[in-house]
Amino acid sequence: MPGDATADRPAVRFEVEDGIGFIIIDNPPVNAISPDVREGIVTAVEKGEADPKVKAMVMLGAGRSFIAGADIRAFGKPRPTPRRTTYDALDGSTKPVVAAIHGYALGGGLETALACHYRIAVPTAKVGLPEVLIGILPGGGGTQRLPRLIGPKAAMEMIVSGRHVPAGEAKALGIIDMVLPGKDLRKEAVAFAKGIADKRPVPRVRDRVEKLAEAKADPGMFDAMRKSIARKARNQKAPYHCIACVEAAVTQPFDEGIATERRLFNELENSDEAKALRYAFFAEREVAKIPGVPKDLQVPEIKTAAVIGAGTMGGGIAMSFADSGFPVKLLDANREVLEKGLARIRNNYAVSVKRGSLSQEEMDKRMALIEPAEAYEAIADCDAVIEAVFEQMPVKKAVFGKLDAAMKPGALLFTNTSALEIDEIANVTKRPEAGAGTALFVPAHVMKTFEVVEGAKTSPATLAAAMKLGRDIGKISAYAGNCDGFVANRTRIPFNLEQGLMIEEGALPEQVDKVMVEFGYPLGPFAVNDMSGLDISYDTRKRRAAENPNYRGLPITDRLVEMGRLGQKTGKGWYRYEKGDRTPIVDPETHAIIKQVAAEKGFAQRTFTDEEVLRRLLFSSVNEACKILEEGKAIRASDIDVMWLNGFGFPRYRGGLMFWADTIGAREVYNQIAIWHQRYGARWRPSRLLQELAETGGLLREAKGRMAK
Ligand code: T1G
């Protein structure tokens, strides 16, 4: 646990060498600022000030990083008031202090560096103030010092986005005074410190006001920023408090600005938004851990990979590899499909270049990492393959037969199926232990969830290798047991069903979408259906109806498809669309079709409250998530939240599906589901786990999967 400093391993060491006092932060894993670190820094500065041998001081981080910020685990809990803040001690030092940065200087870590008099960094270092991403704001003077160093506009952009800024750009902005060669940080830092040791007065960022003039020339910049984030920051406070603090840096003297920052920080620390985002932060770290995997497990390394199938999904997966600098072969036996797939990838990148979120040079680099292939021999030496061909069993089996024959011994064979039986696929090979599911979400180059599905014969090494592969291509890997729809989609299926059934009972698509947009989704589920095409799910329903005569289906949705209303691509779906415009327009024709089919099928129609709409959709998934945990198909409830946040666009400031359900409480969720069970029957059978939590008052987000031993 950060802050577990011991006598023989203090969180901060102070060493004097050759006239330089070294302040070394040593609080693994990321040198988070704990009370011991705070006290240690203050004491070290005082020692340096008092020691006549010390001409200047250098602050360094031990291990892989400078300082990754305050200890996030300490938020929301009572904290000892430090006798002196590190920022005041550093800022007030009469001898220059140099922050020598490697790895990360984030949050309180960058604020510590800003309180130093000079900042130097190795080329690979990253700096940032990402507090807004955990629902708070920089509370260590960052909102007052950064604008003084780089100007309010650039500071506001960094603080409101929370992005990590590479050393080169940080130098260009003026945060970093020098980018070092980075061969020997300590040595290079000594050379720098000696160069400035005698310079007086020591440069204090707090005294710098010239950059603040920028705002006097453009006083509207703060409102402009508020407007520009309005859509994305809906229902959130932290981004606006960040802007208010930077504004205070311009309108108030330094110490008053610091007081404003402290006041607004305190308003946010225990907000629901901050609690939810903190939960999400740690849930996204916990999800990587699979209990019971022996620490000394030999995990096969994946350095080269191939993707089979150059369709939309295959292309998106190949882009994920290239986006992470990972060379990948993209195989499709059909040259035309391959060409089309490459063209789609090129076009996706071109759109990003046009938007300015990617340079042409970077686009070319990524395209060069994607090597087209038409024959299995061309990929035979790859360490792993992800198959993403048509979602039809015979097609999958044929591909895996060829892979088994062509791939080198030890190669891992993953399938991206989202609904087919992965054991049946793996069993066509002689190496089912080297098989697993790796399910990505649409669009695959954007969504971060990488669901790793354990088959009956998947070896622990294959499982661990797949989990690592997901992280290596910039995704968040999450474990799933093998069952129909695995974990993420299985929790989503009841949501989709309730979405369709509420229409039969009288709800309107635009009402449902309004509720979900107000809840925080960028788009409502019906508008999303129109975007991906209503025919996609139609085919799945028809296949299910063919396999199971009792399958209920969704007659209203089917009618739309049968009338050629496939969504955006036909200009009409649940909504209608003007030519060349993706804005959904409410269409009375849809209302008429709904009424028509409802009358034909004898569906009784009524009105819905917004609350009922929200709960019907999300409670159905909460209930299913509990059933999945009961069956041991997921390890933790928080893993399911991570899947929803990074696979289904669940509003991050609500923490996730289970975290949100806890804001209502397991008892109320259970009681409502029990009522719907009475009214609607088996599909609403309450999960036993949910019932237990309702009775015990337990938290849904802390529920664990009942894994088979
Ligand atoms: N506090 C506590 N634990 C932390 C931590 C932090 N700030 N940062 C990381 N950890 C733990 C993490 O939970 C994991 O633990 C291990 O370190 C490795 O992390 C006053 C108020 C630095 C980019 O928001 O973004 O300063 O799971 O797996 O992928 O204004 O960690 O192994 O037990 O993420 O290499 C602001 C948060 C705090 C940065 C490294 N700082 N950290 O990523 O490793 S608020 C942040 C990160 C603040 C001041 C305010 C990333 C990283 P475990 P990891 P990584």
| Look-up of token digits 């993209």 | 330
**pLDDT at position 415, please?**
98
**pLDDT at position 5, please?**
56
**pLDDT at position 7, please?**
58
Beta strands in 237-379 (DSSP E): 305-308, 328-331, 370-373
Which residues lie with the beta carbon below 6 Å from any ligand 1 atom?
2, 29-30, 32, 68-73, 104, 106-108, 111, 130-131, 134, 136, 138-140, 142, 282, 285
**pLDDT at position 1, please?**
43
Span from the CA of 68 to the centroid of ligand 1 (angstroms): 6
Q: Extract the residue ranges of the chain whose pLDDT is less than 50.
A: 1-3, 709
Closest CA relative to residue 34, chosen from 91, 100, 80: 80
Kindly name the residue from 131, 273, 498, 510 that is annotated as catalytic.
Answer: 131
Mutation to probe ligand 1, out of 72, 104, 242, 639 (largest number of atoms < 8 A from CB): 72
Structure-token pair, residue 314: 């295959």
Kindly name the residue from 17, 39, 49, 111 that is annotated as catalytic.
Answer: 111
Residue closest by Cα to atom 34 of ligand 1: 285
In ligand 1, which atom is closest to the CA atom of 129? 36
Mutation to probe ligand 1, out of 270, 285, 289, 448 (largest number of atoms < 8 A from CB): 285
Residue closest by Cα to atom 22 of ligand 1: 68
In ligand 1, which atom is closest to the CA atom of 106? 41
Cβ contact 272:236 at 8 Å: no
* pTM, 2 dp: 0.95
**pLDDT at position 2, please?**
46
Cβ contact 15:22 at 8 Å: yes
Mutation to probe ligand 1, out of 30, 104, 106, 158 (largest number of atoms < 8 A from CB): 30
Q: Is 361 a catalytic residue?
A: no
Q: How are beta strands 56-61 and 20-25 bridged, if at all?
A: parallel
Q: Is 247 a catalytic residue?
A: no
Q: How are beta strands 575-576 and 585-586 bridged, if at all?
A: antiparallel
Span from the CA of 212 to the centroid of ligand 1 (angstroms): 31
Span from the CA of 73 to the centroid of ligand 1 (angstroms): 10
**pLDDT at position 296, please?**
86
b/e sequence 2-20, b meaning 16+ C-beta within 10 Å: bbebeeeebbbebeeeeeb
In ligand 1, which atom is closest to the CA atom of 164? 23
Span from the CA of 69 to the centroid of ligand 1 (angstroms): 7
Residue closest by Cα to atom 16 of ligand 1: 29
Span from the CA of 70 to the centroid of ligand 1 (angstroms): 9
Span from the CA of 110 to the centroid of ligand 1 (angstroms): 13
Closest CA relative to residue 93, chosen from 53, 123, 136, 50: 50
CA distance 314 to 306: 10
Residue closest by Cα to atom 30 of ligand 1: 138
CA distance 412 to 460: 12
Residue closest by Cα to atom 49 of ligand 1: 108
Residue closest by Cα to atom 14 of ligand 1: 285
Residue closest by Cα to atom 39 of ligand 1: 68
**pLDDT at position 42, please?**
97
In ligand 1, which atom is closest to the CA atom of 289? 27
Span from the CA of 31 to the centroid of ligand 1 (angstroms): 9
**pLDDT at position 36, please?**
95
